[in-house]
Amino acid sequence: MQAVQSYLQVRRACGFELKTQGKLLRSFATYSDAMGKSHVCADTAIEWAGSARLVERRARRLGEVIRFARYARAEDPRHEVPPPVFGSGRQTRRVPYILSPDEVRGLIRAASQSGRETLRRYTYSTLFALLACTGIRVSEAIGLRYEDITSDGLLIRCSKFRKSRIVPLHESAQAGLERYLERRVTYAPFDDHVFISTVGKPLIINDVEIAFRAAATKIGLRCSPGMSRPTPHSLRHTFAVRALEACPDERDHITKHMLALSTYLGHAKVANTYWYLQATPELMSGIAERCERFVMGDQP
């Protein structure tokens, strides 16, 4: 357990949160101590990881022990590094659900007509519109405060990966946000959160998901078997894909466009932005066309 705590402290000092990983490693340490093992034992680790019901979870649990064991073995060779008998544990990300322009407009319209004519209508129609036109995360949107709306755009403070950034706003988005704030101010004048519920409290993600599902059901959004379902985060995915579809053709322009989009979205790695290239047939056909031109000897 002491070695686990040391490992977690070092990685957290590097900026990692390790909430789930910490729980798993402490569970493994407790299990190992109960088995009388003072160092990482490969058989014990495999037995502990194998107690999970799903193979994917077994692979993830064992993967965390393997990373910890490599760290611990650097100082004490008595620690064993278990073999990855359950696989790599890396999950393949599904292609995101991408909404059409008509579906985005339909969602916003459905939210603006939901329930009684209260602040709730304006809250969720404005929120969904803001997510669609900026691509910010849901957590970032509901965490916005009055002082985060600046002349340069939205100030996103220390969100995922502890990064802060400025997200520019189109003048139409700025105007829509200002109209909402004029209605919202009388509901909770002493709370500086931008988006609030009808009882004057800051929104929580569960509230947003419920409102989104209601609007999605109203306009008839469907999810095909084996495909991702539409969620509030789909608005962010849609923004990213449309931005990639608007990318210029030249190689230098593509590189700069991808890097700029990755920074804009607040991704930790540009590889997370490249994932969107598989999201629509238009993007995939564009990739295939450029690959064919490259193989035939033309400049891509």
Q: How confident is the model at residue 171 (pLDDT cuts 50, 70, 90)?
A: very high
pLDDT at 260: 80
The predicted model gives 231-237 an average pLDDT of 92
Q: How confident is the model at residue 169 (pLDDT cuts 50, 70, 90)?
A: very high
pLDDT tens string 272-284: 766 666 655 565 5
Which of 298, 203, 294, 235 shows the shortest CA–CA distance to 96? 235
Q: Residue 294 and residue 6: Cα distance in Å, rounded?
A: 50
Average pLDDT, the chain: 85
Domains of the chain by start residue, with CATH? 2-73 (no CATH), 101-219 (1.10.443.10), 234-295 (no CATH)
Residue 75, CA atoms < 13 Å, CB-side half-sphere: 8
pLDDT tens string 205-222: 999 999 999 999 999 987
Q: Residue 92 and residue 69: Cα distance in Å, rounded?
A: 25
pLDDT tens string 138-151: 999 999 999 999 98
Q: Residue 206 and residue 214: Cα distance in Å, rounded?
A: 12
Please, are residues 129 and 108 in contact by the beta-carbon 8 Å criterion?
yes
The predicted model gives 19-43 an average pLDDT of 94
Backbone phi, psi, residue 149, to 5° = -95, 105
Per-residue pLDDT for 231 more than 70? yes
DSSP-derived 3-state class of residue 17 = coil
Per-residue pLDDT for 294 more than 60? no
Per-residue pLDDT for 102 more than 60? yes
pLDDT at 270: 63
Find the helix packing angle between 101-112 and 205-219, rounded to 10°: 110
Q: How confident is the model at residue 245 (pLDDT cuts 50, 70, 90)?
A: confident
The predicted model gives 194-212 an average pLDDT of 91
pLDDT at 244: 78
Catalytic residues: 137, 160, 233, 236, 267, 276
Instruction: Map tokens 């007509």 to a residue.
Output: 113
pTM of the model: 0.69
